[in-house]
């Protein structure tokens, strides 16, 4: 039987069927075409040396009218905007405390207990502390006055953090100190973190230990479900909502270091959803459409 030479068309065409795509490639995995010939993809390179916190579950790229490219990233702990090769933290602030935080340190320990009435935080949340003074000797004002991730929530009014210097190295107190850190300590709490893993909405594992009766149903909320984001742009700006949470707005003109804010706080906003599941912007008339619930 004589041999026949076949020249296949480059590219992957899945618009038809394997049979109808005669003389072409219908399916492939980790393959690219170079000079009309298929070759194995050699690998990937890291896009940026910068990094972000959390597991990313939403990427939304768009181009502003200025021609600049932006990518909005939603992770299970934060919200970022990528411009160039840098990530900028635009996570909204959930609540602020003014002159209301005190600290306690134990000699030989890096664990700091913070007391703030009805802080509303959950484990894994982030808080930025300001206005503090030295505590427990080596735990200086520079150590306290920065962003911290909450290690554990120990009560409605207390939580713990691990003291660190500005490079991220752990700092250990060399004396015990209680109820100090300054009388005018402020805290800015970012929106509650979501879960990094899926948990069923009823039964075992959905609430804290001993909460409710055995097998009792627990409602899905912002903090007890897998954190998913719904994101769209409104012109140059961004509208984002963590599933089960509020609707947030990031104004590009305010700069990359400006955080997103609750849309309900914007001038002229009314009847903004309290709980949002999905948000999108219509292409032509620029209406914002959302699925959610409004509590008045």
Q: What percent of the chain has pLDDT over 70?
A: 90
Question: Quick one: pLDDT band at residue 289, thresholds 50, 70, 90?
Answer: confident
**154 or 287, which is more confident:** 154
Q: Is pLDDT at 129 greater than 80 in this prediction?
A: yes
Domain ranges of the chain: 1-44, 56-92+224-293, 94-190
Tell me what pLDDT residue 21 has. Answer: 81
pLDDT winner (highest mean) among 10-14, 161-165, 243-247: 161-165
Tell me what pLDDT residue 294 has. Answer: 65
Question: Quick one: pLDDT band at residue 92, thresholds 50, 70, 90?
Answer: very high
Least confident of 109-118, 221-230, 242-251, 253-262: 221-230
Task: Map the chain to HEC letters.
Answer: CCCCCCCCCCCECCCCCCCCCCCCECCCCCEEEECCEEEECCCCCCCCCCCCCCCEEEEEEEECCCCCEEEEEEECCCEEEEECCEEEECCCEEEEECCCCEEEECCCCCEEEEECCCCCCCCCCEEEEECCCCECCCECHHHHCCEEECCEEEECCEEEEECECCCCCECCCCCCEEEECCCCCEEEEECCCCECCCCCCECCCCCCCCCCCCCCECCCCCCCCECCEEEEEECCEEEEEECCECCEEECHHHCCCCCCEEHHHCCCCCCCCCEEEEEEECCCCCCEEEEEECCC
Least confident of 21-25, 66-70, 140-144: 21-25
Tell me what pLDDT residue 116 has. Answer: 95
Q: Is pLDDT at 217 greater than 70 in this prediction?
A: no
**275 or 82, which is more confident:** 82
Q: Is pLDDT at 11 greater than 70 in this prediction?
A: yes
Q: Is pLDDT at 182 greater than 80 in this prediction?
A: no
Tell me what pLDDT residue 237 has. Answer: 94
Mean pLDDT across 269-286: 84
Q: Is pLDDT at 284 greater than 80 in this prediction?
A: no
Tell me what pLDDT residue 162 has. Answer: 98
Q: Is pLDDT at 206 greater than 60 in this prediction?
A: no
Tell me what pLDDT residue 16 has. Answer: 81
Question: Quick one: pLDDT band at residue 228, thresholds 50, 70, 90?
Answer: very high
What CATH number was assigned to the domain covering residues 94-190?
2.40.30.20
**23 or 81, which is more confident:** 81
Tens digits of residue pLDDT in 239-271: 999 998 999 999 999 999 999 999 988 888 888
Tell me what pLDDT residue 215 has. Answer: 60
Q: Is pLDDT at 199 greater than 80 in this prediction?
A: no
Average pLDDT, the chain: 88
Q: Is pLDDT at 110 greater than 90 in this prediction?
A: yes
Q: Is pLDDT at 145 greater than 90 in this prediction?
A: yes
């Amino acid at each position: 039987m004589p041999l026949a030479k076949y020249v296949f068309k480059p590219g992957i065409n899945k618009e038809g069927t394997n049979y109808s795509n005669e003389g072409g490639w219908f399916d492939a995995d980790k393959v690219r075409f170079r000079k009309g010939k298929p070759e194995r993809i050699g690998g990937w390179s890291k896009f940026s040396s910068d990094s972000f916190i959390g597991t990313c579950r939403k990427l939304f790229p768009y181009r502003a009218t200025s021609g600049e490219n932006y990518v909005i990233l939603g992770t299970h702990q934060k919200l970022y905007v990528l411009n160039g090769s840098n990530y900028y933290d635009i996570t909204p602030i959930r609540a602020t405390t003014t002159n209301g935080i005190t600290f306690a340190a134990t000699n030989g320990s890096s664990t700091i207990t913070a007391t703030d009435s009805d802080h509303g935080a959950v484990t894994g949340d982030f808080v930025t502390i300001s206005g503090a003074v030295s505590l427990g000797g080596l735990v200086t004002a520079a150590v306290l006055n920065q962003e911290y991730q909450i290690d554990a929530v120990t009560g409605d009014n207390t939580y713990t953090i691990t003291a660190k210097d500005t490079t991220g190295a752990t700092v250990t107190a060399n004396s015990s100190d209680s109820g100090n850190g300054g009388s005018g300590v402020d805290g800015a709490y970012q929106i509650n973190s979501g879960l990094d893993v899926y948990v069923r909405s009823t039964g075992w594992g959905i609430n804290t230990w001993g909460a409710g009766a055995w097998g009792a149903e627990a409602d899905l909320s912002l903090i007890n479900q897998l954190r998913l984001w719904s994101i769209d742009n409104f012109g140059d700006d961004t509208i984002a909502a963590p599933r089960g949470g509020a609707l947030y707005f990031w104004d590009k003109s305010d700069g990359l270091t400006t955080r997103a804010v609750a849309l309900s706080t914007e001038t002229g906003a009314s009847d903004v959803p309290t709980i949002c599941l999905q948000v999108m912007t219509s292409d032509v008339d620029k209406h914002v459409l959302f699925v959610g619930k409004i509590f008045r």
